[in-house]
Amino acid sequence: MELSGGQIVVQCLKDEGVEYLFGYPGGAVLHLYDAIFHQEDVKHILVRHEQAATHAADAYARATGKPGVVLVTSGPGATNAVTGIATAYMDSIPMVVISGQVPTAVIGSDAFQEVDMVGITRPCVKHNFLVKDVNDIAETMKKAFYVATTGRPGPVVVDIPKDITDPNILVPYKYPKKIKMRSYSPVTKGHPGQIKKAIELLLAAQRPVIYSGGGVILGEGSEELRELTRSLNFPITQTLMGLGAYPATDKQSIGMLGMHGTYEANLAMHESDVILAIGVRFDDRVTGKLAEFCPHSTIIHIDIDPASISKTVKVSVPIVGEVKVVLKQMLELLKEQKKKPSKKALEAWWSRIAQWRSVNCLEFKRDGDLIKPQAVIEQLYEVTKGDAFITSDVGQHQMFAAQFYPFDKPRRWINSGGLGTMGFGLPAAIGVKLAHPDADVACVTGEASIQMCIQELSTALQYKTPVKIINLNNRYMGMVRQWQEFSYESRYSHSYMDTIPDFVKLAEAYGHVGIRVDKPEDVKPALEKAFAMKDRTVFIDIMTDRTENVYPMIESGKGHQEMTLRVAPGTPINRELA
């Protein structure tokens, strides 16, 4: 089969089983777009801004486990995609981004719409390629998908100069079935000796905690995590990225940990003697002050990426391998040994945790005329029966969603945890809805974040992706305002917006349904109405309490034991009191 470079790229996507390609055309990719025009297998989703293409593809990947694929043109098309690439990189999301480049003959001459895409993206991709020969396209594409999806996943950029996709140059095409790279071969199995050590520690633990993260979801280890947690009867806390890997409604779940985690999770971490960390990276939002992180604990860390181990927190038992495989190895060894952890110690530990739980750290004031953002999320949970895909933007609403929508399944909670990219939520919801057309998909956002990619309302109409936008509108950049209240004596420097658009009219202008909610009693009916409209995108603009803060909170630079609770804002809780 002889094909042009443009046709080869598209054929590679077909052979790779790519369902959707998120993109935006431009000069350098016109040959490619012409090749796309002549086929129907790979469905192209035209976004309204390249950033949205990367977020939508990224969320598609998060919701399915399959790589997201993006196509953008050179220069501004490529740079617009960078925020989304960095977002995927920070959360280890498999993604292949094809960017057009100016013709090879003019590379380096500051040609029209030229930018060094390989150079610009180098620090925020797992790997990138510049294709210099049409005969190299197929192998490069195979490598791109292989690198993006294996080991610790991540985005891969393939930069293709325009002349390489020339329709007049035909070359033989064959997509490699397999690829081997001498410089890249990720580990799968964990070291048996290390696993044995880990099991010994776990069985001897008095105050154990399982601390699991996004790696469990990425590595499809949810089932094994459940089995192990249950068979050990240990408490489990999950990171923002890990929510859903273990059911949040289960009694062994002690909630999210970290800056806005639960009191019980953070104090359990602080007082633990053994931590089993799985697919996590000891992010600063999780650990708080490093010097005070888990002072009494021996840490076991399972991760596919050796560089994640002992990066910030020194661990005692590192286990490099795929989470799923390592957990299976651990389960097998546990079964062989037929031993259980000390029942007595665990009983004492659970009763200590129950004490912390009784503080009811997430409680908020429910009466009054103002709509509480937390109550909105609770009602969203009820209306969607806890089974929706929730995407979010970044800020207070993101934390409220994480705290008040208990996820019981993996891949349901889609948010930019690492990079914290405002504007992620709406394009992400579109990507998720394309992946799961029959599921309820809601984007929990705020009036500041939503405006960063609001133009995608247009994409949602074109591709009939009926998502529900839950806009927690507090007329502030809520999280910025909260930090300014706590740390800058309430000097609200530029965190306020007094020219917020009429979102109802805006939604209608884009061809969608807009609903505005001002009273607490109207929230649930509005949500019910919105979710009943199966085939419409609905923008629910909810006027929430302007001064609500996210609690509990570990202020920057403090340790887990120094949480600030709602009870007395600003007063650190003395843990002896609890």
Partner 1 sequence: MRHIISILIENEAGALSRVAGLFSARGYNIESLTVAPTEDPTLSRMTLVTRGTDEVIEQITKQLNKLIDIVKLIDLAEATHVERELMLVKVKTCKESREEINRLAEIFRGKIIDVTSNSYVIEMTGPSDKLDAFVAALDENSIIETVRSGPTGLSRGEKGLHL
Strands 274-278 and 389-392: unpaired
CA distance 561 to 267: 6
> Of 177 and 182, which CB lies nearer to partner 1 in the complex structure?
182
**Phi, psi angles (nearest 5°) of residue 431:** -60, -40
Residue 479 annotated to the active site: yes
Part of the chain binding partner 1 (CB under 8 A), chosen from 250-258, 300-308, 391-399, 504-512: 300-308
Catalytic residue among 16, 22, 50, 451: 50
Which helix (H) or strand (E) covers residue 119, if one does?
A: helix 117-121
> Of 123 and 368, which CB lies nearer to partner 1 in the complex structure?
123
Residue 256 annotated to the active site: no
Cβ(470)–Cβ(442) under 8 Å? yes
> Of 17 and 119, which CB lies nearer to partner 1 in the complex structure?
119
Part of the chain binding partner 1 (CB under 8 A), chosen from 180-188, 214-222, 385-393, 539-547: 180-188
Least distance from partner 1 to the Cβ atom of residue 51, Å: 22
Residues 404-423 touching partner 1, rule: CB under 8 A, are none
> Of 120 and 426, which CB lies nearer to partner 1 in the complex structure?
120
Which helix (H) or strand (E) covers residue 380, if one does?
A: helix 373-383
Tell me: does residue 46 bind partner 1 (CB under 8 A). no
Residue (of 241, 239, 153, 155) closest to 417 by Cα position: 241
> Of 96 and 240, which CB lies nearer to partner 1 in the complex structure?
96
CA distance 53 to 75: 16
Least distance from partner 1 to the Cβ atom of residue 130, Å: 7
Tell me: does residue 191 bind partner 1 (CB under 8 A). no
CA distance 53 to 155: 13
Which tokens in the block code for residue 110? Answer: 């500051």
Residues 304-343 touching partner 1, rule: CB under 8 A, are 305-307, 309-311, 314
DSSP string, 310-370: TSSS--SEEEES-HHHHHHHHHHHHHHHT----HHHHHHHHHHHHHHHTT-TT-----SSS
> Of 76 and 108, which CB lies nearer to partner 1 in the complex structure?
108
Catalytic residue among 142, 162, 433, 468: 162
Q: At what angle do helices 263-271 and 343-357 cross, to 10 degrees?
A: 140
Residue (of 102, 221, 119, 237) closest to 163 by Cα position: 102
Q: Residues 6 or more apart from 10 whose CB is under 8 A from it?
A: 32, 35, 36, 39, 42
Instruction: Write a three-state SS string for 324-338.
Output: HHHHHHHHHHHHHHC
Tell me: does residue 291 bind partner 1 (CB under 8 A). no
Least distance from partner 1 to the Cβ atom of residue 127, Å: 4
> Of 181 and 497, which CB lies nearer to partner 1 in the complex structure?
181
Least distance from partner 1 to the Cβ atom of residue 136, Å: 12
Size of residue set near partner 1 by CB under 8 A: 19
Residue 14 annotated to the active site: no
Residues 362-401 touching partner 1, rule: CB under 8 A, are none
Q: Residues 6 or more apart from 83 whose CB is under 8 A from it?
A: 51, 54, 419, 421, 423
Which tokens in the block code for residue 195? Answer: 């696993």
Least distance from partner 1 to the Cβ atom of residue 306, Å: 5
> Of 129 and 173, which CB lies nearer to partner 1 in the complex structure?
129
CA distance 454 to 47: 11
DSSP state of 67: P
Catalytic residue among 112, 339, 382, 505: 112
> Of 64 and 135, which CB lies nearer to partner 1 in the complex structure?
135
CA distance 7 to 218: 31
CA distance 453 to 342: 52
Residues 100-119, mask of contacts with partner 1 (x by CB under 8 A): ------------------xx
DSSP string, 145-204: HHHHHSSS--EEEEEEEGGGG-TT-EEE----S---BTTB----SPPHHHHHHHHHHHHH
Least distance from partner 1 to the Cβ atom of residue 174, Å: 22
Q: Which amino acid is at 20?
A: Y
Residue 162 annotated to the active site: yes
CA distance 117 to 131: 12
> Of 79 and 360, which CB lies nearer to partner 1 in the complex structure?
79
Tell me: does residue 184 bind partner 1 (CB under 8 A). yes
Cβ(531)–Cβ(387) under 8 Å? no
Q: Which amino acid is at 40?
A: E
Residues 116-155, mask of contacts with partner 1 (x by CB under 8 A): --xx--xx--xx--x----------------x--------
Among 183, 490, 493, 571, binds partner 1 (CB under 8 A): 183
Catalytic residue among 19, 39, 43, 113: 113
CA distance 348 to 302: 27
Task: Report the first-to-last Cα separation within the chain, whole angstroms.
Answer: 72
Least distance from partner 1 to the Cβ atom of residue 553, Å: 29
Least distance from partner 1 to the Cβ atom of residue 291, Å: 14
Residue 355 annotated to the active site: no
Least distance from partner 1 to the Cβ atom of residue 307, Å: 4
Which residues here bind partner 1, judged by CB under 8 A? Answer: 118-119, 122-123, 126-127, 130, 147, 181-184, 305-307, 309-311, 314
Catalytic residue ranges: 50, 112-113, 162, 479
